[in-house]
């Protein structure tokens, strides 16, 4: 599931203790979640202050997902190469030629001054409501009338 999906939500801690949740494109590589992020984003600022994060990857039908509790680091080195790794599997870019993808990636990280957020999982929870008998009975009873 982590390799098939391309979008997730990452949650970081705001300075006031509230949660900041953002949808992101990501790629799962070598046991880590990699995300392209704007250097001046709230997400990055939050991670620099408190690197405990949660990442949710899910699908709506059937409702299933993976919730990752982990630690994040913002990597400012080798951004182009890592961004290319993330972008080559993102839906709008998958069918592009290698040359065009390289041009777009370079333009993106230069225009939007980007870094790479790497999330290392500490604890992983999976859920699959398609396998939940109570949920399936509820759907049959109330939604398929």
CATH of the domain at 12: 2.30.110.10
pLDDT of residue 145: 55
Q: Is 77 exposed, middle or buried (0-12, 13-18, 19+ CB in 10 A)?
A: exposed
pTM of the entire predicted model? 0.86
10-residue mean pLDDT profile of the chain (145 residues): values are: 87 97 93 95 97 94 90 95 90 85 94 96 90 76 72
Q: Is residue 1 part of a domain?
A: no
Residues 6+ apart with CB under 8 A from 12: 19, 20, 22, 42, 43, 46, 47, 50, 53, 72
Q: Is residue 115 part of a domain?
A: yes
Domain of residue 58 covers 7-143
pLDDT of residue 104: 94
pLDDT of residue 91: 73
Q: How many domains does the chain have?
A: 1
pLDDT of residue 131: 80
- Residue 56 contacts residue 8 (beta carbons within 8 Å): yes
């Amino acid at each position: 599931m982590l390799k098939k999906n391309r979008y997730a939500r990452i949650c970081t801690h705001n300075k006031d203790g509230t949660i900041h949740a953002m949808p992101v494109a990501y790629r799962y590589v070598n046991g880590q979640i990699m995300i392209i992020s704007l250097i001046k984003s709230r997400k990055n600022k939050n991670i620099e202050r408190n690197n405990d994060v949660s990442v949710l990857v899910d699908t709506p039908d059937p409702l299933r997902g993976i919730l990752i509790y982990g630690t994040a680091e913002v990597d400012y080195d080798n951004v182009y190469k890592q961004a290319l790794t993330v972008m080559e599997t993102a839906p709008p870019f998958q069918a592009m030629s290698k040359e065009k993808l390289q041009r777009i990636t370079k333009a993106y990280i230069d225009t939007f001054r980007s870094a790479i957020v790497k999330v290392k999982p500490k604890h992983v929870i999976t859920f699959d409501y398609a396998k939940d008998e109570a949920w399936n009975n509820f759907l049959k009873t109330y939604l398929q009338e």
